[in-house]
Chains A and B, each alone.
Chain A
Amino acid sequence: MTGLSSAGLSSAGLNAAGPDAVGLIATVLQVVLVVVGAPLLTGLMRQVRARMEGRAGAGVLQPWRDLRKLLRKEPIDPRGTGWPFRLAPLVLAGTALVVAAVVPLVTTASPLDSAADLFAVTALLALGSVALALGGLDTGTAFGGMGASREVTVLALVEPTILVSVFALSVRAGSTNLGTIVGLTEADPMRVLSPASLLAAVALALVTIAETGRIPVDNPSTHLELTMIHEAMVLEYSGPDLALIEWASAARLTVLLGLLGSLFLPWGVATGGAAGMGALVAVLVGVAAFAAKTAVLGMLLAAGEVFMAKLRLFRIPELLAGSFLLALLAVAASYFLAGGA
């Protein structure tokens, strides 16, 4: 009855070498893929956008070239800033790395799967945003404070939608652990088309846009003080610090798009059921599927952005309230259309 019982890391990579070793390899692959692929995704999205607007574009590799250039520059501390300013890019990048390791993008059999669930992932992403907001405040400029204030406002309003969507998704899986949810959906693909799942997908897609600072919530390519959120916070960063922030922003977008893909289009994600060569093949299929899904979702997002303008800051709460309503409907649907009736 006690509600809680503890049993340690019994399954974490020690008892059965076969599937767990594959899981470990898959997790490492997944992290490497996000590290290398995230700037490429940004490049791809910029390229799609450029082509649709009739420009030639700088090429898919341009973000990597930018990162290389920034990394070689001299690190600079603006006068009057301290450890919160210097720590912020590292924490942001660190949370992105941890999330990339625990989210089931390539495989559901990650040895870290039991360490964090969807709530923890949300909280980790929020931790990254908070670190950056504090870094922005620490500069003591009006821009830093403005960006931080707007960022935490959006963050506070996004949170309910995410958690209620998680609720909707976990009702039938009976768990908030990501591996379980994705595994169950993969076993029964028709669940994706259930009203609960569709509503939750729309709600989560909206908050993904808000979390990653894309149009219509924020515009990553503007420096206009009336509108900018993310860019205002990072205005004082330069050189390697800025490189970390740029990379981490891209990685967060990649992970969140990948997560959307895994939750609602779970085909191809390795479940860790097979052994030996079969498992390795499954992992490779997972890698290909992850890359393809994320690229398609990114291109769709970029294409959508071409036809949209940024919302006024104080219209954003309405958008987020709408997404919260969708998430609530998703929970209601999961109860009244399935289990409860």
Chain B
Amino acid sequence: MNLPGALLTVALGLCLATALLALAVPARIRPALSGVGTAAAGAAGAAAGGAAMAGQTWSAWLPDLLPLAGVRLTLDPLGGLFIAVTGGVAVCAGVYGIGYARHGLSGRIVQATLPLFVASMLLVPAAAAVSTLLVAWELMAITSLLLVLAEHGRRPAVGGAGLWYAVMTHLGLIAILGGLAGFAAGAHGEAFEQLRSARLSPLARDAVFLATFAGFASKAGIVPLHAWLPRAHPEAPSHVSALMSAAMVNMGVYGIARVGLDLLPGSTGGASGGGTPAWWWLLVLAAGGASAMYGILQAAVSSDLKRLLGYSTTENMGLVLMGLGAAGFFATRGAPQLAALALVAALLHVVNHAAFKTLLFQAAGSVLHATGTRNLDVLGGLRARMPYTTALFAVGALAASALPPGNGFVSEWLLLQSLVHAIPASGVAGAVAMPLAVGVVAMSAGLAVATFVKAFGVGFLARPRGPEAERAVESPPSMLGGMGLAALCCAVLAVGPTVIVPGLARAVGTLLPGPAPVTGPAMRTVTLHLSGIAGTMSPLLIAVALAAAIALAAGAVRMFSARRRRAARLWDCGAGPMSPRMQYTATSFAEPLQRVFDDVLRPEMDIDVTPKKESAYLVERIRFHAMVPDRIERRLYGPLLAAAEALGRRARALANGSVHRYLAYGFWTLTGLLILLAVIP
């Protein structure tokens, strides 16, 4: 067993040991034990993934672990990348969870499930056979469901969120199971090696791709299969939200990349995505674009901090899928350089998103912990009360709004570069799709700016809008430590993306084999040079130049005006001191955007005027209620749920309580099956 194998084994062993110990030890030290164990397992997992990205591969077959098929594991650079990301998120979440769990989350089930959830997410990218993948996938679904339900006793919304999540994740599992089972049947074997050399008919390949794409996309929160995400992610405890939003959704991306770019292309005999139909990838691109736009639009008008972050996850996964779709599309058009660039952009965005979303969910959890509310409309004024959380959230918000010097900017820049240079290579379909894709990326970046200015500016700055925010105090050091680690990752990725680019290039190399990967002084330099494309950008230089320019401006002002700063009253139009209720709220901040995108969002308003008995002109009370519903959920899922319910009601007529009737059902079903078997040769 080599280094990555040993490290992965250690990580999984630590997870298991932590889970067992958490069941045994008293509640007082349980969160600390579970947190430390999870963080250690995460560190080992991250190291295993890093070693795999550095080029050391490992595989194992454990025939006795599962009946019939056994467990097949392989660590390659692509899987290693996702394992490393999961491990990194687990480290932050583990440290953070120690402090966060003190308030009613120290139960046995929750604390023992957390490391198991991490273990399942470390296993999914390492699986090298359909059965192993599906078992790990289901384990991931069940453990995360248990964690989502952790606070079901406190808020009634948790139960509903859990139900949505349970149903949708299992429908997704069925789609993946169906697709991969069909694939395995066609390949006469279920190990990935056998799948790669399978020969499938074009129709079967399309079916396999569509089924697995639907299943994996629903896990990634892609529109229109996202409905569970903005419900389940906010209702989970915040470190679990971070794990789900920063690590678990990535598994959907991993699945699409693995099946679409690695396993299926081999089944035509052509390598490296060249053998797949272009419409698959245009579909992926379109789904990604729709998710990016819809997700960020909903986030922009949401005034629930964690729901906003959940929708932002849909947006970012959409951007990742756009990169993935563009990569597949370029590969089919014989442009391997562009394909590799788009894929590097997508994978770098996975890493960046994991870093800043971990940070943001943890900071949101810190706010929730201190104030007891997620409603931005009653928050504010946390800058003075929770200075560290505020600063850390600012780092995450900068990254999430894709502005320099944040890390989100680097991957979006790469994505834009790959899209912009596509025209000569991609024919008419590309000439139509790529400008629209650039427009979508730009629009989502612009709306992300609006979203996070709102989240930060309204949630943390100015004066408290409600008593909850007034009483807020800073979170304990372990929570700040977890956030600090995530912020450190953001900072490193922001100024030194060249550090991980060789590893990413190796991960890309497993999907799109081609000439030699990055060589030479890649580790020591600061400027991103694109090979084959004349585009350069240096995140470090921009950051340094910005710091220098700000210092220069400050120095210049200091030089001309040496007087001390003095505090004074706010300008109140001469009408006396202003109350905090006069401030803009999150709802009012988003109102112009809501009005601009009226046709898409369809906000609902309800004004209820109760007049006095004496006269209709004397008003006793006015109730105003405004909300922006998720329109896809309402228009698509509403009718489906209604139809299912109607069907269920109809089906009641079949069961009227008569035993004879039930026996007759059994008889006719058996007869029917026998006839069917006789007819089928």
A interface list, Cβ under 8 A from B: 1-9, 71-80, 82-84, 89-91, 93-95, 97-98, 101-102, 112, 114-117, 119-120, 123-124, 126-127, 130, 133-134, 137-142, 144-146, 148-150, 152-153, 155-160, 162-164, 166-167, 170-171, 173-177, 180, 235-236, 239-240, 243-244, 313-314, 317, 324, 328, 331-332, 334-336, 339-340
CA distance A153 to B431 in the complex (A): 29
B424 and A339: CB pair below 8 A? yes
Chain B residues with CB under 8 Å of A240's CB are 557, 560-561
Chain A residues with CB under 8 Å of B578's CB are 140-142
CA distance A116 to B546 in the complex (A): 12
- Chain A nearest CB from B576 CB (Å) reads 13
Given contacts A9-B525, A340-B423, 17 further A-B contacts (CB under 8 A): A2-B514, A6-B518, A71-B560, A74-B561, A76-B566, A78-B569, A79-B568, A80-B462, A91-B550, A94-B549, A98-B542, A112-B541, A134-B453, A141-B572, A141-B578, A149-B588, A163-B416
A114 and B527: CB pair below 8 A? yes
Chain B residues with CB under 8 Å of A155's CB are 446, 449-450
Given contacts A9-B525, A335-B431, contact A74 B420 (CB under 8 A): no
**Does B652 count as interface, using CB distance less than 8 angstroms?**
no
Q: Which residue of A lies closest to B596 (CB)?
A: A317
Q: Which residue of B lies closest to A143 (CB)?
A: B571
B522 and A140: CB pair below 8 A? no
CA distance A125 to B615 in the complex (A): 57
CA distance A268 to B423 in the complex (A): 30
- Chain B nearest CB from A322 CB (Å) reads 14
Which one, B61-69, B160-168, B339-347, is touching chain A? B339-347
Q: Which residue of A lies closest to B297 (CB)?
A: A156
Given contacts A2-B517, A120-B542, A130-B453, contact A79 B553 (CB under 8 A): no
CA distance A91 to B552 in the complex (A): 11
Chain A residues with CB under 8 Å of B414's CB are 4
**Does B485 count as interface, using CB distance less than 8 angstroms?**
no
A115 and B438: CB pair below 8 A? no
B403 and A120: CB pair below 8 A? no
Given contacts A80-B463, A140-B570, contact A313 B592 (CB under 8 A): yes
B462 and A138: CB pair below 8 A? yes
**Does B530 count as interface, using CB distance less than 8 angstroms?**
yes
A148 and B439: CB pair below 8 A? no
A239 and B401: CB pair below 8 A? no
Which one, B38-46, B257-265, B473-481, B532-540, is touching chain A? B532-540
A160 and B446: CB pair below 8 A? yes
Q: B443: which of A71, A130, A153, A160 is its contact (CB, 8 Å)?
A: A160
B522 and A72: CB pair below 8 A? no
B525 and A149: CB pair below 8 A? no
B570 and A124: CB pair below 8 A? no
Chain B residues with CB under 8 Å of A336's CB are 431
**Does B580 count as interface, using CB distance less than 8 angstroms?**
yes
B588 and A145: CB pair below 8 A? yes
A7 and B527: CB pair below 8 A? yes
Given contacts A4-B501, A98-B549, contact A175 B534 (CB under 8 A): yes
**Does B515 count as interface, using CB distance less than 8 angstroms?**
yes
Interface residues of B in 401-417 (CB under 8 A from A): 401-404, 409, 413-414, 416-417
Given contacts A159-B442, A164-B435, A335-B431, contact A4 B383 (CB under 8 A): no
Q: Which residue of A lies closest to B409 (CB)?
A: A123
Q: A3: which of B413, B505, B536 is its contact (CB, 8 Å)?
A: B505
Chain A residues with CB under 8 Å of B409's CB are 120, 123
A142 and B461: CB pair below 8 A? no
A180 and B534: CB pair below 8 A? yes
Given contacts A176-B535, A335-B423, contact A82 B442 (CB under 8 A): no
B interface list, Cβ under 8 A from A: 300, 336-344, 380, 383-384, 401-404, 409, 413-414, 416-421, 423-424, 428, 431, 434-436, 438-443, 445-447, 449-450, 453-454, 456-458, 461-463, 498, 501, 504-505, 508-509, 512, 514-522, 524-538, 541-542, 545-547, 549-550, 552-554, 557, 560-561, 563-572, 578, 580, 582-584, 588-593, 595-596
- Chain A nearest CB from B515 CB (Å) reads 5
Chain B residues with CB under 8 Å of A116's CB are 537-538, 541-542
19 residue pairs from A and B, CB less than 8 Å apart: A1-B516, A1-B517, A2-B531, A5-B520, A8-B526, A71-B561, A74-B561, A75-B565, A82-B383, A84-B461, A90-B550, A127-B404, A137-B457, A149-B584, A152-B454, A177-B535, A317-B596, A331-B431, A332-B431
Q: A114: which of B524, B536, B553 is its contact (CB, 8 Å)?
A: B536
- Chain A nearest CB from B584 CB (Å) reads 2
Q: B582: which of A141, A156, A174 is its contact (CB, 8 Å)?
A: A141
What number of A-B contacts does a CB cutoff of 8 Å give?
349
B462 and A175: CB pair below 8 A? no
- Chain A nearest CB from B427 CB (Å) reads 8
B450 and A153: CB pair below 8 A? yes
Chain A residues with CB under 8 Å of B300's CB are 156
Chain A residues with CB under 8 Å of B384's CB are 82
A4 and B535: CB pair below 8 A? no
Chain A residues with CB under 8 Å of B570's CB are 78-80, 139-141, 236
B535 and A175: CB pair below 8 A? yes
CA distance A140 to B528 in the complex (A): 41
B565 and A3: CB pair below 8 A? no
B553 and A244: CB pair below 8 A? yes
Chain A residues with CB under 8 Å of B531's CB are 1-5
- Chain B nearest CB from A190 CB (Å) reads 21
CA distance A340 to B383 in the complex (A): 54
Chain B residues with CB under 8 Å of A174's CB are 421, 533-534
B545 and A156: CB pair below 8 A? no
A150 and B404: CB pair below 8 A? no
Chain B residues with CB under 8 Å of A149's CB are 584, 588-592
Chain A residues with CB under 8 Å of B439's CB are 160, 163-164, 324, 328
Q: A115: which of B341, B454, B542 is its contact (CB, 8 Å)?
A: B542
B584 and A148: CB pair below 8 A? yes
Q: A328: which of B417, B435, B447, B553 is its contact (CB, 8 Å)?
A: B435
CA distance A239 to B560 in the complex (A): 11
CA distance A120 to B591 in the complex (A): 29
A167 and B457: CB pair below 8 A? no
Q: Which residue of A lies closest to B577 (CB)?
A: A79
CA distance A148 to B435 in the complex (A): 29
A7 and B529: CB pair below 8 A? yes
CA distance A76 to B505 in the complex (A): 52
Chain B residues with CB under 8 Å of A8's CB are 521, 524-527
A1 and B461: CB pair below 8 A? no
B566 and A72: CB pair below 8 A? no
Q: B537: which of A9, A76, A115 is its contact (CB, 8 Å)?
A: A115
Given contacts A1-B340, A160-B439, contact A72 B561 (CB under 8 A): yes
B423 and A120: CB pair below 8 A? no
B438 and A167: CB pair below 8 A? yes
Given contacts A4-B505, A72-B560, contact A152 B527 (CB under 8 A): no
A120 and B505: CB pair below 8 A? no
A145 and B561: CB pair below 8 A? no
Chain A residues with CB under 8 Å of B436's CB are 328
A6 and B461: CB pair below 8 A? no
Chain A residues with CB under 8 Å of B554's CB are 90
B527 and A9: CB pair below 8 A? yes
CA distance A138 to B445 in the complex (A): 23
A120 and B404: CB pair below 8 A? yes
Given contacts A75-B561, A335-B431, contact A4 B584 (CB under 8 A): no
- Chain A nearest CB from B392 CB (Å) reads 14
CA distance A149 to B585 in the complex (A): 10
A115 and B505: CB pair below 8 A? no
Chain B residues with CB under 8 Å of A134's CB are 453, 456-457, 461
B462 and A140: CB pair below 8 A? yes
CA distance A89 to B556 in the complex (A): 12
Q: B553: which of A97, A158, A173, A324 is its contact (CB, 8 Å)?
A: A97
- Chain A nearest CB from B601 CB (Å) reads 14
Chain A residues with CB under 8 Å of B453's CB are 130, 133-134, 137, 148, 152
Q: Which residue of A lies closest to B519 (CB)?
A: A5
Chain A residues with CB under 8 Å of B534's CB are 173-175, 177, 180
